[in-house]
Amino acid sequence: MPRGNTSPVIAHLLREEANAVQLYLQYKGYHWNVAGPWFRELHLLFDEHAAMVFAMIDPLAERQRMLGAPAPYTMGDLGSASKLPKETGLPGTTRAMVERLLVSHRTIIEGMHEGFRAAEREGDPGTADLFARFVQDHQKMEWFLRELASEAPPMPEEAGRPLIPAEKGTGLPSSLTPHAPTHVPGR
């Protein structure tokens, strides 16, 4: 591709590169600052998701270069290109962290769908494929977060009792809550 390509897909690639940088920093900030009874699980989940998002940044920037456009890299350029809500401070609860991440993923998913459609209109299967692969990763991360934020469905009954009873008010199985008594069958 010639330098200075003005394909409409480049704007979509830049936006998603910027969104990925911002989401990566959001995840790492929450990873460093999460606290409370779910610290360990969320600390690890946020770091796992951050690594997945980080792995997307380079391919998005390199695709812009393949198409002949520069790949912006300064915080100013990326900050102005991102469509994610700007962080105004650390959320006060872990639930608020999860809810903010859900908004970010949903914004990215919508943007990647737009980018995919633009790439198809432009006859650019390489960019369409990139968006198709990455949107699946974002959908999976969004699913994990959505399940964390939702109330757990009733558990199946076995011999008249739940297999894993839910801890009142948390929507999480009591076997996974902090300080839950551990029952060893036969003791």
In DSSP terms, 162 is beta-bridged to: 157
Is residue 20 scored above 50 in pLDDT? yes
Domain ranges of the chain: 8-149
Burial class (CB in 10 A: 0-12, 13-18, 19+), 77: middle
Percent of the chain with pLDDT over 90: 72
Residue written as token pair 């520069």: 70
Q: Do 64 and 8 contact (CB within 8 A), yes or no?
A: no
Q: What's residue 35's pLDDT? A: 93
pLDDT band with cut points at 50, 70 and 90 for residue 6: confident
pLDDT band with cut points at 50, 70 and 90 for residue 102: very high
d(Cα 36, Cα 50) in Å, to the nearest integer? 20
> Which stretch, 19-23, 168-172, 173-177, has highest mean pLDDT?
19-23
Q: What's residue 85's pLDDT? A: 95
pLDDT (average), residues 96-105: 97
Structure confidence by residue, pLDDT tens digits, 37-60:
889 999 999 999 999 999 999 999
pTM above 0.85, yes or no: no
Amino acid at position 76, single letter = G
d(Cα 183, Cα 164) in Å, to the nearest integer? 12
**Residue spans of alpha helices (H) in 82-162:** 94-121, 125-149
Q: Which fold, 8-149? A: Ferritin (1.20.1260)
Over the range 2-34, which residues count as b (16 or more CB within 10 Å of their CB) and which as e?
Answer: eeeeebebbbbbbbbbbbbbbbbebbbbbbeeb
